[in-house]
Amino acid sequence: MTSAPLARDFRPVARARADRAPRPAFPAAPVDRKRRFGVLGWGISLLATWGLLIGGRAQIVRVLPAAAPVYAALGLKVNLRHMEVFGVNAKLVEEEGRKILLVEGQIKNTGAAARTPPRMRLAIEDANGREIYFWTAAPPKSRLNPGENAYFRARLAAPPEEGKDVRVRFAPDASAT
């Protein structure tokens, strides 16, 4: 009669022993510290390189202008001039029986120092986006303070009939200051 209670007491103990993880025959190998720090070092150096490529893109483009299209493809702006053109509006008007293309907009100094704005390059494009005519215009002011806007107005007598769009940007020059 004593054998039945022993059997009930024995099963939970046996189950508890079976649920425990088996002990390894050998102790775990120590973690290779050189390998861990090598991977960590590579990760930190990759992050630092990425940060320099993104944060220092203006300096990179100044030294290597061919990098500008790569940054543009990534959606990152590189503005060496610290000037922007915005609010451009183009319309055909008639004066004394002649068609005149009137282009208006603003330029802004986005830098932290006063700057001389460069000449503006205005281009007429056809329906396919091909440039068919361009001209340059002087900036509206000779100096813009930081954050200052200036309105510009450019005119072209007898614009090409096939023109569909006008693109305004700054004319290239030797120094982008």
| Confidence check: pLDDT of 177 > 70 | no
Partner residues linked to 169 by β-bridges: 121
| Confidence check: pLDDT of 49 > 80 | yes
166 and 99 co-located in one domain = yes
Range of the domain at 55: 33-73
Is 176 domain-assigned? no
59 and 108 co-located in one domain = no
97 and 166 co-located in one domain = yes
- Last residue in a domain, options 14, 48, 73: 73
C-beta neighbour count of 121 within 10 angstroms: 16
Give the C-alpha distances (Å, rounded to integers) separating 18 from 21, 59, 174, 176. Answer: 8, 66, 81, 77
121 and 56 co-located in one domain = no
Counted domains in the chain: 2
Is 127 domain-assigned? yes
Is 141 domain-assigned? yes
- Last residue in a domain, options 23, 43, 73: 73
| Confidence check: pLDDT of 116 > 70 | yes
Comparing 175 with 47, the larger pLDDT belongs to 47
Is 20 domain-assigned? no
Question: Residue 143 maps to which CATH number?
Answer: 2.60.40.10
Question: What pLDDT score does 91 carry?
Answer: 93
Is 144 domain-assigned? yes
95 and 67 co-located in one domain = no
pTM flag (> 0.85): no
| Confidence check: pLDDT of 130 > 60 | yes
114 and 152 co-located in one domain = yes
Provide mean pLDDT across the span 66-92: 87
97 and 164 co-located in one domain = yes
CB of 98 closer than 8 Å to CB of 158: yes
Is 63 domain-assigned? yes
Least confident of 18-27, 139-148, 166-175: 18-27
Provide mean pLDDT across the span 6-21: 49
**CA–CA separation, 121 and 88 (whole Å):** 13
56 and 127 co-located in one domain = no
| Confidence check: pLDDT of 70 > 70 | yes
100 and 157 co-located in one domain = yes
91 and 159 co-located in one domain = yes
Is 15 domain-assigned? no
Is 10 domain-assigned? no
pLDDT per position as a tens digit, 32-43:
666 777 788 888
Give the C-alpha distances (Å, rounded to integers) separating 15 from 7, 9, 20, 21, 25. Answer: 12, 11, 9, 12, 22
